[in-house]
Chains A and B, each alone.
Chain A
Amino acid sequence: MGKLRIAGYWAAGCGGCEIAALEIGDKIIQLAEVADIVFWPVAVDFKYHDVEQMADKSIDVCLFNGAIRSSENEHIAKLLRAKSKVMVAYGSCAYEGCIPALANLTNRQGIFNRVYIETPSTDNSNHTFPQTSYQVPEGELTLPEFYDTVKTLGQTVEVDYFMPGCPPVGKQTWAVLEAIIQGKLPPPGSVVGAGTRALCEECPRVKEEKKVKAFYRPYEIMPDPEKCLLEQGLLCAGVATREGCGALCPKASMPCTGCYGPMEGVIDQGAKFLSAVASIIDSNDPEEINRIIQSIRDPVGTFYRYSLAESLLRRARIQ
């Protein structure tokens, strides 16, 4: 039996997942003994052409990170799906859209207008926009099409496993790689590299009763180092986020922002977080309730920071 053939690809993401893959440290030596990297543009200079030449299903596992934002992202996702036995949505962008999916609150025209016309440093009185096809004196230059809506990998191709995290932490990445090497993966469609319950289970802070009369922005207070952050009025997403990272942010005195996605069985992370926050408001008086809610000034950015593309509404409605 030959070595495992592994591929990696980075679509509309930041590269953090590529770096995260290296957090397995010296385990990479073990990996190199049993696997060959047959395509990974960030590190290895194989071309799209080489993937096209591969037989279908000849790649054993493809770790695909990044969201689907352009025609190039979509094309490569479909190409790699055809050539791979197992497709893993690695990291939050591929799994649920992550930060790039916040662009679903706007659209291509909104983004183009801002980036290429309105920004104060931009000098573009001709209103030149990037074109998918443009004739220069020497010939034609092409660019991929920029879509209005960011999609997840799962909304574009069939995905076998989902690995949450922005990015996934080192020990979880190794756990999944080990499972792949040993052939011990759970049933397809599963979320891997994380637990099933809320982050609260991993968080060392002391939890008592959640009854809040006011919410605070993190810069407004110096939180108690031992107590639950949500109980102190910070909008900590841990209560609606899947465990798996070790509660890094709460340990650093910052509220969790939800990058490991929803818990098992939850279809819309933002709705869950919103519901949890509303539930702990300690008031039955409509005026007081409104006053408390006033202080939550960016509900969609707080509740759907990483999961907008995978949410029920998926994007804002724009006329």
Chain B
Amino acid sequence: MKRISIDPITRLEGHGKIEIFLDDAGEVANAYLQIPELRGFEKFCEGRLVEDMPQITERICGVCPEAHHMASVKAVDDVFHIDPPPTAKKLRELLYSAFYVFDHTTHFYVLGGPDFVMGPEADPAVRNVLGVIAKVPEVGKEVIKTREMGHEIVEIVGGRKIHPCGALPGGMSHGLTEEQRQHIEEMARSLLEFAKLTIKVLDDVVLANKGYVDLILNDSYLHRTYYMGLVDENNKVNFYDGKVRVVDPGGKEFAKYAPKEYLEHVAEHVEPWSYLKFPYLKKVGWKGFTDGPQSGVYRATPLSRLNAADGMATPLAQAEYERMYSTIGGKPVHATLATHWARVIELLYAAERLLELSLDREITGPNYRTIPTATPDEGVGIVEAPRGTLTHHYITDEHGIVQKVNLIVGTTNNNAAISMSIKKAAQGLIKGGKKISEGLLNKIEMAFRAYDPCFGCATHSLPGRMPLEVIIRDSHGEEIQRISRGLH
């Protein structure tokens, strides 16, 4: 059986490789996404002080440490049976909204966006952030500024730009002065303008192009799965707090649960060829790598969140939400590539929410932390990480020493779906006998990239290419064909 190895997958938190097997007719028999890394947080956190967990677990990911910091501190609040004062929650959500703005920006402009802004078959030399900057120059400067402002807000509220230290059980380590609040408000206004600009970029460059719309709706990139996302009491998308809502492939509410109930709904499957587990809906069951209402495979992505909710909580984002569904036609949307659109809508919501919170009277309040008094025992904290629903679960002894940890991390939710997306895209694109072109390789990557798998690197010094090499071997391991692009 012929085999195509893509190793390593790049622009991923950590490492991954894809193995595609072709049968004798040259059709794709199967494709495997293998994650070759594991660090063991669920074990080595045993014995740690539970209040240290927000700073320890955020080292799971240096791109989205804010997500772990928040999920963790919410679990720790729960462990101590303490409800932080309103100012503390608002400070946390303020930090979190700023984070969402720069994180989604990074993905759209540097990672996923170039496929659309420049085109999936565009010359690799321009199909990257530099090409985007050349095509829409006013945007490039704004992207850099946006990242800087977003990080500055995180530092003001959370103490550090990367791996914030401000979250404690019962609240935050420090409050906000009026001067800091004004500075944040100013930056928030700027970020909102940038979010609006991004919608315009999406409109002018992607949605105005029929070819792209066709690509987005192409069956090779479609899966009818369940969708998961956090919603507030009005069933609107909320990144920081709420209940987890799951809708079925038809869009009907299938489950809605509070963090403490997660074990009744989510289980994880293990395969011997990957270090990463495969979560699925317990009440449906693990039926393998398939979609549809009979399979427990679900997705937790920006698109999933929009599918699982009834709308957005801020006006501009809500208008965009309605526009997306009416344009594509119906809800839920199953087209994986539409995740990019959903991401931009979330960017807009995050910016609106950031401004809202920076104007809130309580954000500079003196009451930023309450001291816990209850005996610690067990807690669960859930937030929406940009890449998916993030669950932290801790059990401690009566002194708050961690005894047991369970984590279900953003991208992990999508592990099965990503595998399926790669396989389906490969099957649709690699046909018996047909020579494998360069654009084809990119289109397989696009299936993977839409999920923004935990890490998309933002760099401004990309040499402007997406080099990739595909080696095709026969069943003896002899090389038959090697396709490279963009390699020196």
Contact = CB atoms under 8 A, between A and B. Distances in A.
A and B touch in the complex (CB under 8 A): yes
B118 to A, nearest CB: 16
* Residue from B160, B286, B455, B467 whose CB has the most chain A CB atoms within 10 Å: B160
Interface residues of A, number: 91
B272 A16 contact: no
A43 B459 contact: yes
Main secondary structure of the interface of B (DSSP, over half): loop
B356 interface: no
A171 to B, nearest CB: 11
Contacts of B459: 21-22, 28, 43
B122 interface: no
Contacts of B180: none
A43 B3 contact: no
Contact of A253 (B42, B174, B458): B174
Nearest to A137: B30
Contacts of B173: 218, 252-254
Contact of A41 (B8, B34, B161): B8
B44 A14 contact: no
Contact of B273 (A15, A134, A217): A134
B201 interface: no
Contact of B160 (A21, A49, A50, A252): A252
Contact of A123 (B30, B60, B268, B465): B268
A200 interface: no
Contacts of A131: 272-273
Interface string A47-78: 11110000000000000000001101000000
Contacts of A48: 7-8
Contacts of A99: 56, 59
B270 A32 contact: no
Contacts of A111: 38, 40, 42-44
Nearest to B39: A100
Contact of A32 (B13, B38, B273, B460): B460
B486 interface: yes
A307 B213 CA distance: 51
B215 interface: no
A124 B37 CA distance: 19
A253 B167 CA distance: 11
A297 B49 contact: yes
Size bin of chain B's contact surface? 35 or more
A115 B40 CA distance: 7
B314 to A, nearest CB: 27
A252 B268 contact: no
A254 B44 contact: no
B267 A134 contact: no
Contact of B372 (A166, A219, A305): A219
A114 interface: yes
Contacts of A22: 147, 458-460
Interface stretch (A79-87, A102-110, A269-277): A102-110
A128 to B, nearest CB: 5
Contact of A15 (B13, B47, B56, B466): B13
A136 B51 contact: no
A158 B162 CA distance: 29
Nearest to B280: A123
Contacts of A130: 38, 270-275
Interface of A: 10, 12-23, 25-26, 28-29, 31-32, 36-38, 41-50, 69-70, 72, 98-100, 102-103, 105-106, 110-111, 113-116, 119-124, 128-131, 134, 136-139, 141, 143-144, 146, 166-167, 169-170, 217-222, 225, 248-249, 251-254, 257, 297-298, 300-302, 305
- Ordered nearest first, which 9 A-B pairs have the shortest CB separation? A16-B62, A252-B159, A111-B40, A138-B21, A99-B59, A14-B62, A114-B43, A141-B273, A15-B62
Given A121-B266, A248-B159, 12 more contacts: A15-B62, A16-B59, A16-B163, A28-B461, A45-B11, A46-B487, A70-B37, A136-B30, A143-B274, A217-B49, A249-B165, A257-B165
